[in-house]
């Protein structure tokens, strides 16, 4: 089905007009084109934006606490950068530790207030369904914001990312009045039963690669179970979820149930994780940061869910359908600019078909991985999200070259118009398992291709990692497929596909790829406490 994209404006620059009074000296040039400006008053909490596709909206800039946008107490701001043009889109308020405390207190008060606590599961589900409806109604605006702020293709934002938000919310809305306890038969002298209670105030921290979807994955089960939330956005990509905050209020959620803050991880994130009135922490991001969160949360023994890094293997046996394997392998690493925790970035191919696979894979990259403006319909790959991530990926490419790997294609910056954090899709061959590009998470459009001889060798290579998030197996022998899937050390295994996740199926890893599960029915467990009640019937 063809996607109908909004028409582009004549210029690719971004026009910004602030709502509010502009003081003298606050007008400054925004881009190289003199007629495009940003004007921003310190008093305003919103700004009118126009994106390159012509869509206009009013963008919130503040901290969303108690259903209102407020300034940060410190006056700090964070500039959000368009990775396509390297220009500033706007600046948003940055939360200090004191602001986090205000947000947590709001969430704590809401958790105990009858306006939320006394709602039935059916009523909570109705609020979540209303929010899902509003997300769908604002889909084009949300997709535009996501693409502008993150750099992913608009075609992906509108057809995949935004629909995922409403699907996840609807899924957990359906569970809100079906998350039952149970009666346990222990004999006639005792009546024993369990009830599921919300954990309390949930501190949730999301990454920059899927700002909308990762927020939905966390908000959905938390709200379904009756918790309240302080959601900290990634400082690199705060804009889309700040817009969703307006929809939260419009949907009718009581003040304080959902609080959404911007802020740096070292300040706002650390304050949230360590706050004594936060009962649970859920985090998606790097393994290194996940370890620090575990340390900080341990002081108050918080319930934690972590989804961290990955270096997922994809195994292609010689009997596999190579065309199918190549198609899924390409999507498994090159989609979303390679910025996927489950990216199948280590492709292990049986010796007999290795050379043929490499040539087919390179041809697929040339055919599909069109690098360009994310608002163009033909674009498959946009820029990396930030300059820091761009430089990190280029550093890994240099490491691969210095350690002796061969760059079969790509391996250099690729800005279509001389600007933007673009990197050509990169294929490494002659890769040894000791190399950094084989062992460490690159989080970019870079793949390492390695040959193997036997099933045992494939498994050894696949499991030779500290990570254990996802894996994929390609073979026509389904007995072998199931056998290998059982032996791979990962939380998820795809057979004859890659990164084919679904919101109804548990998502999570083993080893240093995280703790706990999100999505599916399993995603509810971290957000409930099971209380056992014993009744002495003989009394």
Query: Which positions are annotated as active-site residues?
Result: 307
CA–CA separation, 227 vs 229, rounded Å? Answer: 7
Biggest alpha carbon distance in the chain?
Answer: 85
CA–CA separation, 495 vs 393, rounded Å? Answer: 29
Which residues are within 8 A (CB) of 368 and not within 5 positions of it... i.e. 6 or more apart? Answer: 330, 334, 380
CA–CA separation, 178 vs 28, rounded Å? Answer: 54
- Contact at 8 Å (CB) between 108 and 228? yes
User: Distance of CA 235 to CAs 64, 182, 206, 373, 442, Å?
Assistant: 15, 42, 10, 23, 20
CA–CA separation, 86 vs 83, rounded Å? Answer: 5
Say which DSSP state 95 is in.
Answer: -
Q: Would you list the DSSP string of 346-381?
A: EEEEEGGGHHHHHHHHHHHHHHH--BS-TTSTT-SB
Q: Tokens for 388, please give them.
A: 């820091």
Which residues are within 8 A (CB) of 297 and not within 5 positions of it... i.e. 6 or more apart? Answer: 273, 274, 281, 304
- β-strand partners of 451: 349
CA–CA separation, 496 vs 507, rounded Å? Answer: 18
User: Distance of CA 54 to CAs 34, 149, 374, 431, Å?
Assistant: 19, 15, 14, 45
CA–CA separation, 420 vs 141, rounded Å? Answer: 22
Say which DSSP state 394 is in.
Answer: H
Q: Would you list the DSSP string of 249-311?
A: HHHTPPTTSEEEE---IIIIIHHHHH-TT--EEEEES-HHHHHHHHHHHHTTT-EEEEE----
């Amino acid at each position: 089905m063809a996607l109908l994209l909004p028409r582009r404006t004549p210029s690719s620059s971004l026009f910004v007009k602030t709502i509010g009074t502009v003081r003298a000296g606050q007008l400054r040039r925004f881009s190289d084109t003199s007629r495009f400006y940003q004007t921003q008053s310190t008093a305003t909490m919103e700004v009118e934006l126009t994106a390159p596709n012509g869509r206009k909206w009013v963008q919130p800039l503040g901290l969303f606490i108690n259903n209102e946008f407020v300034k940060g107490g410190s006056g700090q701001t964070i500039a959000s950068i368009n990775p396509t043009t390297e220009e500033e889109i706007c600046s948003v308020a940055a939360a200090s530790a004191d602001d986090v405390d205000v947000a947590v207190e709001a969430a704590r008060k809401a958790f105990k207030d009858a306006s939320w606590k006394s709602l039935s599961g059916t009523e909570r589900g109705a609020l979540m369904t209303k929010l899902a409806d509003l997300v769908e109604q604002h889909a084009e605006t949300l997709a535009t914001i996501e693409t502008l702020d993150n750099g992913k293709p608009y075609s992906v934002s509108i057809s995949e990312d935004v629909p995922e938000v409403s699907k996840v919310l609807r899924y957990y809305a359906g569970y809100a009045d079906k998350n039952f306890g149970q009666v346990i038969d222990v004999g006639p002298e005792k009546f024993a039963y369990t009830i599921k209670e919300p954990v309390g105030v949930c501190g949730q921290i999301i990454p920059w690669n899927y700002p909308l979807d990762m927020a939905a994955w966390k908000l959905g089960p938390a709200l379904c179970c009756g918790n309240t939330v302080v959601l900290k956005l990634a400082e690199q990509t705060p804009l889309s979820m700040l817009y969703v905050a307006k929809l939260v209020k419009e949907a009718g959620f009581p003040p304080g149930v959902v609080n959404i803050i911007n802020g740096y991880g070292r300040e706002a994130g650390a304050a949230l994780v360590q706050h004594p009135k936060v009962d649970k922490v859920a985090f998606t991001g790097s393994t290194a940061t996940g370890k620090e969160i575990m340390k900080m949360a341990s002081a108050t023994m918080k319930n934690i869910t972590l989804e961290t890094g990955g270096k997922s293997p994809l195994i292609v046996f010689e009997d596999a359908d190579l065309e199918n394997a190549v198609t899924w392998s390409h999507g498994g690493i090159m989609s979303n600019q390679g910025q996927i925790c489950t990216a199948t970035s280590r492709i292990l191919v049986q010796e007999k078909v290795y050379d043929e696979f490499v040539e087919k894979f390179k041809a697929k990259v040339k055919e599909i991985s069109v690098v360009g403006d994310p608002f163009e319909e033909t674009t498959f790959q946009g820029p990396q999200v930030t300059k820091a991530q761009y430089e990190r990926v280029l550093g890994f490419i240099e490491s691969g070259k210095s350690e002796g790997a061969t760059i079969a294609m790509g391996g250099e910056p690729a800005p279509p118009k001389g600007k933007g954090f673009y990197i050509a899709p990169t294929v490494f061959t002659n890769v040894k398992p000791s190399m950094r590009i084989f062992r460490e998470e690159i989080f970019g459009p870079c793949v390492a291709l390695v040959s193997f001889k036997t099933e045992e060798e494939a498994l050894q290579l696949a499991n030779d990692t500290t990570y254990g998030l996802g894996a994929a197996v390609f073979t026509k022998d389904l007995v072998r497929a199931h056998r290998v899937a059982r032996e791979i050390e990962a939380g998820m295994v795809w057979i004859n596909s890659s990164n084919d996740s679904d919101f109804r199926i548990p998502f999570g890893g083993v080893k240093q790829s995280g703790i706990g599960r999100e999505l599916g029915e399993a995603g509810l467990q971290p957000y409930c406490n099971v209380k056992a009640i014993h009744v002495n019937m003989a009394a």
